[in-house]
Amino acid sequence: MSRSTQIAIRWYDAVLIAALVVVIALGSPHAGGGTSARQPDLVAILIGVAGALTLLPWRRMPVLAASGAAIAVLAYLALGYAGGPVLLLGPVAMALVGYAASWWVALGAAFAISVAVVAGQILGTGEPGAIAIAGPAWAFALMLAGQLLAIWSEHAAAQRERVRLMQRQAADRERLEIARDLHDSVAHALVTVTVQADVAAKLLDRRPEQARAAIGAIRQAGADALDELGSILTALRDEQGGAQRLPARRLSDVEELVARARADGLEVVFGTEGDLAAVATAISGAAYRVVQEALSNVVRHAGRAARVEVSVMVAEPRAVRVIVSDDGGSPDSAIRPPGSRLGLIGMRERVVATGGTFTAGPRPDARGFVVEAEWG
């Protein structure tokens, strides 16, 4: 429980007890007019106020609160005072204790207050009277009401906690998704920039036209990365969740990835089976990111001299298989830029999160690396 909540509860309790004290102090002198019973005086008021003050710690010490109220009611009735606001101590105490205490404690408190009412009435007047019947009935009814309110409050609190946990989990998933998107888009763009910058540096003097083309590819990769970064940052800053991100990448966009990889100097053999556009959205996006990250890893670790085979097979909208395999290339041509080492982890998380299986490791012939993701 937070400090602000505790302070609010203390204020609430203080206001409740203060109101009860005011009612007892101002209402007691006017109670019992026209009856033969003893008229409430200062002693009666002090008994009522003392009983009300014992209710202050009702949340932490419900037994003390119930005992104080029972003793005050017993003393008030035993002294023969006419019915008045002091008798409110019983119902108020039972409602509070019924809410704060366990079932057995609340039941015991209701019994104690009932005994106090009956015994006080007999000691004060010599006979039970109507209050000896109404008092216990009210005590047990309010005890039950307090218990039911406590159960409802616990259920409501549990529901709020479930909602809070669901919101937190949703936020965690969103952060993870954004982290993956940042890694995939930025890492892929940086690989392209690094490769094309290397090409431009080597061809600047001998083949300026090709060098200019490489610089153009760098510009395009940077622009694409900035667009995606801007989209992600806009979504992060949008508190209402209404910001529009760039359209999600799909398997049908893999051909564009392959074209860029070829432009970077990779030899890519690309084959497809089935309708890529018919794949379920979540699986399609995850499969696209697998191909994107796998191609980036080839450039990083096998170099532009590598030969890559990309196969995408679609049997049904949720039955998809993606394989990206390279022959190891030439380690001397690998760029190996500093990385987060989260590429394979991110691919696996995406695939598993969409109901698929993921494997990655050296090829059986120990030449090169193969990444495979399968759904359905």
The least confident of 218-232, 258-272, 283-297 is 218-232
d(CA 73, CA 229): 72
Per-residue pLDDT tens over the stretch 156-190 = 889 999 999 988 888 777 777 766 666 666 666 66
List, in sequence order, the alpha helices (H) in 204-319. 208-237, 254-263, 281-301
The residue written with tokens 């104080």 in the block is 68
Instruction: Report in angstroms the alpha-carbon separations of 100 from 61, 104, 146, 160.
Output: 9, 12, 8, 20
Confidence of residue 198 (pLDDT cuts 50, 70, 90): low
Confidence of residue 321 (pLDDT cuts 50, 70, 90): very high
DSSP 366: S
Q: Is the pTM of this model over 0.75?
A: no
d(CA 232, CA 248): 12
d(CA 263, CA 240): 40
Domains in the chain, start-ordered, CATH in brackets?
3-129 (no CATH), 249-376 (3.30.565.10)
For residue 340, the cross-strand partners are none
Task: Please state whether beta strands 369-375 and 319-326 pair in parallel, antiparallel, or not at all (unpaired).
Answer: antiparallel
| Arithmetic mean of pLDDT over the chain | 80
Percentage of the residues of the chain whose pLDDT score is greater than 90: 17
